[in-house]
């Protein structure tokens, strides 16, 4: 009888422990989370914009993407407004916040030709998330976009360099980007829908330092920085959007 009770106890403990083991694998970077105040209002505004349709291009990210409406405003008007682009960058966002937004209407009912994704730097503060966890979050976002927007090609950008000089945080972001880039491989993306591009070196000096002339706070680009960004992705973006090259006039 004691042996039977002991066996039953072991089985029950195994069953009760199973959910806990699974829960440990689900970290913050892949757990959808929302925010509040102005963030909610911006989320509602984006939803209202996409409801109107006519969306051929979307930019998904944090404050660096958000600021296409600030320091990058003139370049946005030149390169992306004519392409019916929608800015889905939210200042302060982490991967988990983007996942929540994608789950809650921001890309419903549309079928853009392309999506530019650059996210993760806010997850890298201190010990908030490891490079592996940040990569998990980025990959989860790409998968979410692929599921909800199966006809949309993705241009996944490496996290931009930050800080005046090379640092552990910059290295963490670089590692996260490298790990996330694997989703664009032929084996994981046989339909060739996800394309990875690292334009970070274009912002750096030969000694790998970051100039205030490009990012005054060593994180957010100014107008010069946004010009570098736009120029760097333009050839690939044209390709993904299926735009024909204009013939040179004589």
Read off the tokens for 183: 């989703």
- Please indicate whether residue 97 is annotated as part of the active site: no
Q: Which of 66, 97, 195, 220 is catalytic?
A: 220
Contacts of residue 164, defined as CB under 8 A and 6 or more positions apart, other chains included, come to 209, 210, 218
In terms of residues, how long is the chain? Answer: 250
What distance in Å separates the CA atoms of residue 117 and residue 181, rounded to the nearest whole number?
Answer: 12
Evaluate whether 163 touches 248 at the Cβ level (below 8 Å). Answer: no
Q: Which of 27, 28, 63, 103 is catalytic?
A: 63
Q: Which of 36, 192, 217, 249 is catalytic?
A: 217
Beta bridge partners of 151: none
- Please indicate whether residue 220 is annotated as part of the active site: yes
Which DSSP helix (H) or strand (E) runs through 51? Answer: helix 38-51
- Please indicate whether residue 124 is annotated as part of the active site: no
Catalytic machinery residues: 63, 217, 220
């Amino acid at each position: 009888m004691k042996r039977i009770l002991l066996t039953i106890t072991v089985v029950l403990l195994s069953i009760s422990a199973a959910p806990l083991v699974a829960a440990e694998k689900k970290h913050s970077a892949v757990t959808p989370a929302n925010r509040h105040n102005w963030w909610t209002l911006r989320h509602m505004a984006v939803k209202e914009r996409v409801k109107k349709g006519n969306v051929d291009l979307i930019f998904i990210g944090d404050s660096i993407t958000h600021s296409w409406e600030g320091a990058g405003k003139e370049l946005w008007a030149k390169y992306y407004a004519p392409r019916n682009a929608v800015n889905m960058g939210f200042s302060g966002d982490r991967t988990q916040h983007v996942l929540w937004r994608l789950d809650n209407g921001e890309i419903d009912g549309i079928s853009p030709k392309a999506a530019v994704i650059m996210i993760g730097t806010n997850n890298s503060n201190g010990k908030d998330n490891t490079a592996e966890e940040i990569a998990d979050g980025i990959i989860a976002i790409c998968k979410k976009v692929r599921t909800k927007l199966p006809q949309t090609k993705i241009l996944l950008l490496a996290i931009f360099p930050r800080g005046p000089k090379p640092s552990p945080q910059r290295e963490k972001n670089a590692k996260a980007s490298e790990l996330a880039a694997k989703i664009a491989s032929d084996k994981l993306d046989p339909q060739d829908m996800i394309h990875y591009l690292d334009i970070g070196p274009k912002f750096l000096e030969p000694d790998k330092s970051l100039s205030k002339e490009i990012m005054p706070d060593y994180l957010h680009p100014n107008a010069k920085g946004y010009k570098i960004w736009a120029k760097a992705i333009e050839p690939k973006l044209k390709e993904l959007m299926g735009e024909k090259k204009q013939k040179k006039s004589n």
